[in-house]
């Protein structure tokens, strides 16, 4: 039987809890910054979809084509796991509607150290991935502007510009971040939906090829293709990380997370299915631009390459716009709790400006290193490591939800939803473990080393926090 007593307004024993300080009588209300604006539900949905759908979608059909149409089953399985994870983030955001997302939930459940690991791994994932996304966009830019690809330094400058333009959008304020995100999401969805929906009218079943194109068992084929697709859904936590900038986060974060994930999954599945039916299987398995081939098959001519290249650039700029904001939000939340340097607390126009600047500077340095040293192997290794570090906050967040449910904390568990929430958390935990396994042995090994390197930083931050607490008590 569920108790009808209202839960306490604030659990002061919960790590990370933040009490709101009421304004003194007669004190003026804080001035509203016209450059800062909290995100409504549509912008929050665009943030999730824009961050989930980056540039990889333009190669996905060719990547999974060698396994046959059985790879579409992998999409279905992964989508169920991603939606379960999205629902868990929505439930966690209802209980802790604060900026920081996974960091906030993990710290509330397991304390400072686990919270720091979630924040540190998420932050490292963001800036390394931003560099990788910018470098990948250069290939598409070269299709639109051939001069970009003529020399490595023009390529480097183009990659830097792709990083700094979204950073400047972020520094202008959350009002502009939201506007750019909506515009970028709409612009990149138009050509994708053109293929995903319009392509169904040109669909030719003869192009599908075999259901299972490898000698593996059905389970083996699904698992192998899923390993390629697993990281297509990273970014489902985007609205939760920016909960402090979302209007009515307890209500809208969960909705935005689920709607954004379902929207991205629909584009992925329909787009891949349409490309399968538009491009002959034997051609698709070796295609370097499957969406270009699909557009050319629909309308003839060779203008599909320009259209797809433009959509890819817009897609990556939109993803960088969202990820730049997210990369600053987690350090901001951790800095507020004394677990990151205090400078990350600085906020202007609704944006943690220091976090944005530090992130883009680190990503830019990695980009310049990539083009200067020509060390593609090192760069690719770092990117692979981030595929592991990205899953650490997921795993810890789902564990936090299981902890809240199993510990029976009344303000976090509603009796009628206990079984449903437990099942969702269990599925999301299994999905997160699958993401870790899909990273590969090398990425997990090296990722753990990078993660543990952050322990030294935690020791210094924790010591500073302890000294400050001791000084305040005297």
How confident is the model over 311-335, as pLDDT tens digits?
888 888 888 888 888 888 888 889 8
| pLDDT in the model for residue 127 | 87
Secondary structure element (H or E) that encloses residue 353, with its range: helix 353-373
Question: pLDDT tens digits, residue range 341-354?
Answer: 888 988 887 788 99
Q: Alpha carbon 300 to chain centroid distance? A: 35
Q: Who's near 246: CB < 8 A, 6+ residues apart?
A: 38, 39, 40, 44, 239, 252, 253, 256
pLDDT at 26 over 60: no
Question: pLDDT tens digits, residue range 136-183?
Answer: 788 778 878 888 877 888 888 998 998 998 888 888 877 777 777 777
Query: Can you tell me the mean pLDDT for 351-380?
Result: 82
Query: Can you tell me the mean pLDDT for 345-370?
Result: 87
Torsion of CA 298, 303, 304, 308, to 10 degrees: -150
Quickly count: other Cβ atoms within 10 Å of residue 177's Cβ.
29
Cα angle, residue 359 at apex, residues 107 and 48 outer, rounded to 5°: 65
| pLDDT in the model for residue 106 | 94
Cα separation, 347 vs 291, whole angstroms: 41
| pLDDT in the model for residue 329 | 85
Cα–Cα distances in Å, from 135 out to 158, 288, 307?
9, 17, 20
| pLDDT in the model for residue 36 | 55
Global pTM value: 0.79
Question: Residue 348, SS3?
Answer: strand
Query: Can you tell me the mean pLDDT for 94-110?
Result: 88
Query: Can you tell me the mean pLDDT for 444-466?
Result: 86
Task: Give the rounded percent of residues in the chain with a pLDDT score beyond 90.
Answer: 9
| pLDDT in the model for residue 38 | 67
Cα angle, residue 132 at apex, residues 73 and 75 outer, rounded to 5°: 5
Query: Can you tell me the mean pLDDT for 13-40?
Result: 47
Ranges 192-206, 330-344, 377-391: which has the least confidence: 377-391
Instruction: Please indicate whether residue 204 or residue 470 has the higher confidence score (pLDDT).
Output: 204
Query: Can you tell me the mean pLDDT for 189-197?
Result: 82
Q: How many helices, marked H, and strands, marked E, lie in the chain?
A: 18, 0
Confidence of residue 435 (pLDDT cuts 50, 70, 90): confident
- The answer to whether the CB of 122 falls within 8 A of the CB of 325 is no
pLDDT at 239 over 60: yes
Question: pLDDT tens digits, residue range 247-295?
Answer: 888 788 888 888 988 988 888 888 888 888 888 888 888 876 788 788 8
Confidence of residue 397 (pLDDT cuts 50, 70, 90): very high
Ranges 82-96, 103-117, 400-414: which has the least confidence: 400-414
Quickly count: other Cβ atoms within 10 Å of residue 12's Cβ.
8
Beta bridge partners of 246: 39
Joined tokens for residue 466: 């302890």
Residues, the chain, total? Answer: 474
| pLDDT in the model for residue 32 | 53
| pLDDT in the model for residue 119 | 92
- The answer to whether the CB of 10 falls within 8 A of the CB of 102 is no
Secondary structure element (H or E) that encloses residue 152, with its range: helix 152-171
Which residue's structure tokens are 């936590």? Answer: 237
Task: Give the rounded percent of residues in the chain with a pLDDT score beyond 70.
Answer: 85
pLDDT at 34 over 60: no
Beta bridge partners of 348: 351
| pLDDT in the model for residue 116 | 93
| pLDDT in the model for residue 40 | 75
């Amino acid at each position: 039987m569920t108790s009808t007593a209202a839960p306490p307004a604030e659990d002061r024993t919960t790590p990370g809890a933040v009490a709101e300080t009421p304004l003194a009588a007669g004190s003026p209300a804080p001035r509203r910054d016209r450059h800062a604006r909290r995100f409504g539900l549509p912008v929050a949905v665009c943030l999730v979809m824009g961050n989930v759908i980056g540039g990889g979608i333009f190669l996905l059909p060719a990547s999974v084509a060698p396994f046959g149409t059985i790879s579409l089953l992998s999409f279905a399985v992964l989508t169920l796991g991603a939606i379960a994870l999205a629902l868990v983030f929505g439930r966690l955001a209802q209980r802790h509607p604060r900026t920081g997302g996974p960091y906030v939930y993990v710290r509330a459940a397991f304390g400072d150290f686990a919270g720091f690991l979630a924040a540190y791994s998420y932050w490292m994932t963001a800036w390394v991935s931003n560099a990788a996304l910018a470098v990948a966009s250069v290939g598409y830019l070269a299709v639109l502007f051939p001069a970009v690809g003529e020399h490595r330094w023009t390529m480097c400058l183009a990659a830097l510009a792709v990083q700094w333009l979204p950073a400047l959008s972020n520094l202008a304020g959350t009002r502009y971040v939201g506007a750019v995100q909506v515009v970028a999401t709409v612009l990149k969805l138009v050509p994708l939906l053109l293929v995903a929906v319009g392509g169904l009218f040109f669909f030719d079943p003869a192009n599908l090829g075999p259901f299972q194109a490898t000698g593996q068992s059905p389970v083996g084929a699904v698992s192998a293709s899923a390993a390629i697709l697993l990281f297509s859904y990273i970014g489902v936590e985007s609205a939760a990380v920016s909960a402090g900038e979302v209007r009515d986060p307890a209500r809208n974060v969960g909705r935005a997370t689920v709607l954004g994930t379902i929207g991205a999954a629909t584009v992925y599945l329909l787009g891949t299915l349409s490309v399968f039916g538009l491009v002959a299987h034997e051609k698709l398995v070796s295609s370097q631009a499957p969406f270009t081939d699909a557009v050319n098959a629909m309308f003839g001519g060779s203008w599909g390459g320009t259209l797809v290249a433009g959509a890819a650039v817009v897609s990556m700029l939109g993803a960088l716009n969202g990820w730049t904001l997210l990369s600053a939000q987690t350090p901001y939340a951790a800095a507020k709790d004394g677990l990151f340097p205090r400078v990350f607390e600085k906020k202007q126009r609704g944006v943690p400006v220091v976090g944005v600047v530090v992130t883009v500077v680190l990503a830019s340095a990695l980009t310049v290193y990539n083009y200067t040293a020509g060390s593609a192997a090192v760069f690719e290794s770092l990117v692979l490591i981030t595929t592991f570090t990205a899953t650490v906050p997921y795993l810890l967040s789902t564990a936090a939800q299981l902890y809240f449910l199993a510990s029976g904390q009344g303000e976090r568990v509603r009796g009628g939803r206990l079984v449903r929430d437990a099942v969702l958390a269990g599925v999301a935990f299994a999905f997160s473990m699958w993401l870790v396994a899909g990273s590969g042995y090398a990425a997990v090994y090296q990722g753990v080393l990078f993660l543990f390197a952050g322990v030294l930083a935690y020791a210094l931050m924790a010591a500073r926090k302890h000294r400050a607490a001791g000084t305040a008590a005297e």
